[in-house]
Structure 1
């Protein structure tokens, strides 16, 4: 019976493992967002390195789409914009080492219903071994894998005096090393509760579209 339960749990784990992938992002935003902002016209500001960077331009378009959803507009004359938006991003890698116990399942050695099995040198019966049904740790298994931390920072400031109104930091860890694949979800996480509560960290979980 216990063996049957174990197999059922293993099958359930496989089913759950096949569910949609979720991108989890930790988001912290600080804001002094004015309630009476007359208009939300903006332009992007770039560093020299970002001016001709196609990857940056792709992420800028993602931020632009979220700002447009929130009612921001880009004026025909950039000089007339009331706000300036800047963004930065990056990805770092670290190696994770995991040490796990190796457990021997006694039901592989014998069954109490079909007869005794071999566990230690010699012949054993479950009726004479009080530990017959208990799993045993027989060793350790070590493995390593790469974990990637993806980072996004976006700030919004007044164009006239550079007073910052909104700053958000988004970090997301996972085994996926493709920043372009994860960035759409990080950008959505950055503005999900805009402007939100200042200085309150929270986690945003978004399902991967699978397209």
Structure 2
């Protein structure tokens, strides 16, 4: 019996990023401070680690970091989380007329679109609901867990409380490790920041590097 550590070839999952803004001010003369939108996270070491990521992105845009919330002209409210996951079942190794390696499983019944006609309904996707394991052949049914993670970010005018920006980034993946998910979601949030108000983008996020053990 031989155990060999092998790097897993995973497919990137994708983040859906929705952003809304009024008139976000230019960086010149503005300062910011990142605070926890959830009071339960305030003062925590984990929150501070992820707040550093947001601060680095704000600094990259040219905004100056204030020494405290009282000294800032902009308050950046930040929150993050991942759900408890849900089980998925996938069968591989034989021809299934309702399985597509690109989209996952589809229903023969389809759904009605806004334009009034039917399209196939797909269950799962190549980035979030499954993966291909090359080490096992033949028909196989396997169960695995997928998780939905997300971050919320709001920017308010500190003096008046006026909301200037709201953004959400969510993703589905087979990882529930916030240490991996949050940095990628923050990067997705600040891609082409602040974006077009009301537009939702799908942004690819690098797969997590994992180890597969093969038993011979």
TM-score interval, smaller chain: 0.5 to 0.7
Offset of residue 166 of structure 1: 0.8
Structure number with larger C-alpha Rg? 1
1:141-171 CA-to-partner distances (Å, cap 9, x unmatched) read 5432100111101110100111111111001
Distance 1:184 1:85, change over 3 A: same
Distance 1:34 1:170, change over 3 A: closer
Structure 2 residue ranges without an equivalent (≥5): 1-6, 96-138, 210-216
User: Which structure shows the higher helix fraction?
Assistant: 1
* 1:142-181 to 2 correspondences below 5 Å: 142-181=141-180
Offset of residue 34 of structure 1: 4.0
* 1:45-64 to 2 correspondences below 5 Å: 45-46=35-36, 47-64=38-55
Distance 1:58 1:31, change over 3 A: same
For residues 179 and 201 of structure 1, what CA distance do their matches in structure 2 show? 23
Q: TM-score, normalised by structure 1?
A: 0.65
Match of 2:94 among 78, 102, 109: 102
2:186 is aligned to 187
User: Which structure shows the higher strand fraction?
Assistant: 2
Match of 1:65 among 51, 56, 61: 56
> C-alpha root-mean-square deviation of aligned residues, in Å?
2.8
Structure 1 residue ranges without an equivalent (≥5): 1-16, 104-139
1:67-95 CA-to-partner distances (Å, cap 9, x unmatched) read 11011112346423111011111101111
Distance 1:208 1:65, change over 3 A: farther
Q: TM-score, normalised by structure 2?
A: 0.64
For residues 45 and 179 of structure 2, what CA distance do their matches in structure 1 show? 11
